[in-house]
Amino acid sequence: METDGLAQTMRSRWTQDPARPALGFGDTWYDWQWVSENATHIDDTLASVAYSPHAPVAVIARNRPGQAGTILGLMATGRPAVVISSIQSPDGMAADIVRLGVLVVLGSADDLGSDAVAEALRKTGALGVTLVEHGPPRFSIVTPVPSEWPSQPRDRDALVVMLTSGTTGTPKRLTLGRMATLSAMADLTAMLGECEQPGQISPSILFQPLANISGMYLLMLLAAEGRPALLLERFRAAEWGEAVRSLRPSWLWLPPAAIQMVLDADIDPTHLSSARALRTGSAPLGDSVRARFEQRFSIPVLSHYGATEFCGIVTSLSPDDVAGKPDRSGSVGRARPGVRLQIVDSMDGTVVGPGELGILEVQADRLGPGWTRTTDLAVLDREGFLTLHGRADDAINRGGFKVLAGRVADALRGHPAIADAAVLGLADDRLGQVPVAILECRPGVLPPSVEDLAAFSRGRLLAYQVPARFLIVPSLPRTGTMKIDRQAALKLFASTG
Domains with residue ranges and CATH for the chain: 5-156 (3.40.50.980), 178-392 (3.40.50.12780), 399-495 (3.30.300.30)
* Cβ contact 136:146 at 8 Å: no
**How confident is the prediction for the chain on average, in pLDDT?**
90
Percent of the chain with pLDDT over 90: 60
Which parts of the chain have pLDDT scores under 70? Answer: 1-4, 165-171, 497
Q: Record the pTM.
A: 0.83
Tell me if residue 212 falls in helix, strand or coil: coil
Q: In degrees, to the nearest 5, what angle opens at C-alpha 293 toward C-alphas 208 and 258?
A: 20
Q: Give Cα 201 to chain centroid, integer Å.
A: 22
Cα separation, 66 vs 231, in Å, equals 11
Q: Where are the beta strands (DSSP E) in 310-446?
A: 312-316, 334-335, 339-344, 358-364, 372-380, 386-391, 395-398, 401-404, 418-428, 432-441
pLDDT the model gives residue 3? 47
pLDDT the model gives residue 312? 85
Q: What are the distances in angstroms from CA 7 to CA 10, 12, 31, 159?
A: 5, 9, 17, 11
Tell me if residue 398 falls in helix, strand or coil: strand
> What are the tens digits of pLDDT across the range 139-167?
999 999 999 998 887 788 889 998 776 55
Between strands 173-177 and 158-163, the pairing is antiparallel
pLDDT the model gives residue 42? 95
Name the residue type at position 118. A
Residues in the chain: 497
Contacts of 160 (CB under 8 A, 6+ apart): 71, 80, 81, 82, 83, 175, 176, 181, 216
pLDDT the model gives residue 214? 85
Contacts of 136 (CB under 8 A, 6+ apart): 34, 37
Cα separation, 462 vs 488, in Å, equals 27
Between strands 21-25 and 28-31, the pairing is antiparallel
pLDDT the model gives residue 4? 66
Q: Give Cα 275 to chain centroid, integer Å.
A: 21
Between strands 432-441 and 469-473, the pairing is parallel
**Number of Cβ atoms within 10 Å of the Cβ of 471:** 17
Strand-pair partners of 252? 278
* Cβ contact 413:420 at 8 Å: yes
pLDDT the model gives residue 222? 87
